[in-house]
Amino acid sequence: MNGGACSNVNCGACSGDGGTYGTAIGPLSASDLQSVFEFGDKYRGKYDSSIAVAKSYYPSTFGGISWAIAEFSWDIKYAGVQVIASMLMEEAETKEHKTVLEQYRSKAEHYLCACLNKNHKLNVARTPGGLLYVRQWNNMQYVSTATFLLAVYADHLHSLNQKLYCQRGVVEPQEMVTFAKSQVDYRLGSNPMGISYLVGFGSKYPQRVHHRDSSIVSYRKNKEFIGCTQGYNNWYGRKEPNPNVLVGALVGGPDSQDHFWDKRGDYKQSEACIYNTAPLVGIFAKLHHLEINLSGS
């Protein structure tokens, strides 16, 4: 229905119904991985120049050390790469390597400073309630990835006894973690709507998640055949809550004014995707670790 990366109203792979991503892939050997790398190194360029039909769905973009960006998402990974590369600075063996890694670090820290509203010009916007806001469609993915990278880089800086130097001030690692936690708190209910955007958590959470398996009755209760057409015609448009609670799913979240409508058809707000939840697991692990250390002390 939405043409996005994880459309669950269609009979797509993301719904867990045995689609494309259900195919088992065996373990890859070192030689297999090397072959893939050598192929990419030899035939450089954008893949959508060769597969034109993919361009309108999954376009290629370039970044690396040349882009200063303010988002990290399922299809724009440069901030993540830049953070990882910048953490290799201590292992640089030559001046040339260090020069390149320094460029990566500059871009990585520009992104992190943008999340913290510490750049002079390019910063990530926020809702009135304080949530990082990049765009209307599935904004929570950007929040999850930003908070994850902030926590990872804060650990890195702390291990080196360093700070984050932004255009508008110096940021301590603990301040980065504190801000990341504020974004987690927002997602779990500390927001103007008083709703947890993590399905199944708290007393109030999205009831009409844009997800095929969640929105169609269980086979245990209805053993009639429900195909793609029946699923859409008979279940998609219902106003009632989903019959199955998609516990642990993080939906797209509110609009720029902190409003959330909880409508199954509003995929921009209600769609649940694994790239929303995956980074959230990382930041949860970090916060859990901090809690254990605090209680232990």
pLDDT digits (tens, 9 = 90+) for 92-136: 778 888 898 999 999 999 999 999 999 999 999 999 999 999 999
Based on the number of CB atoms within 10 Å of its own CB, is 205 exposed (0-12), middle (13-18) or buried (19 or more)?
buried
Q: Is the pLDDT of residue 2 over 50?
A: no
Q: Is the pLDDT of residue 91 over 50?
A: yes
Read off the pLDDT of each residue in 194-202 and give the average, rounded to a whole number: 97
**Which stretches within the chain are classed as H helix?**
30-42, 78-86, 95-115, 140-159, 173-187, 212-215, 228-231, 267-270, 274-296
**Reported confidence tier of residue 7, pLDDT bands at 50, 70, 90:** very low
Q: Which helix (H) or strand (E) holds 166?
A: strand 164-166
* pTM of the shown model: 0.80
The pLDDT, as a whole number, for residue 66 is 52
Which residue from 2, 211, 3, 7 is spatially nearest to 200, judged by alpha carbons? 211
Reading phi first (left if > 0) and then psi (alpha if -120 to 50, else beta), residue 295 is in alpha
Q: Which region among 159-163, 219-223, 234-238, 286-290 has the lowest average model confidence (pLDDT)? A: 219-223
Which residue from 188, 197, 192 is spatially nearest to 270, judged by alpha carbons? 197
Q: Which region among 13-17, 236-240, 281-285 has the lowest average model confidence (pLDDT)? A: 13-17
Read off the pLDDT of each residue in 182-200 and give the average, rounded to a whole number: 98
For 131-177, how does the pLDDT look when each residue is reduced to its tens digit (9 = 90+)? Answer: 999 999 999 999 999 999 999 999 999 999 999 999 999 999 999 99
Are 160 and 112 within 8 A, CB to CB?
Answer: no
The helix/strand/coil state of 202 is: coil
Angle at 30 between CA 91 and CA 149, to 5 degrees: 45
**CA dist., res. 282 & res. 297, Å (int):** 23
The helix/strand/coil state of 92 is: coil
The pLDDT, as a whole number, for residue 274 is 93
Q: Is the pLDDT of residue 263 over 90?
A: yes
The pLDDT, as a whole number, for residue 9 is 38
Q: Is the pLDDT of residue 35 over 90?
A: no
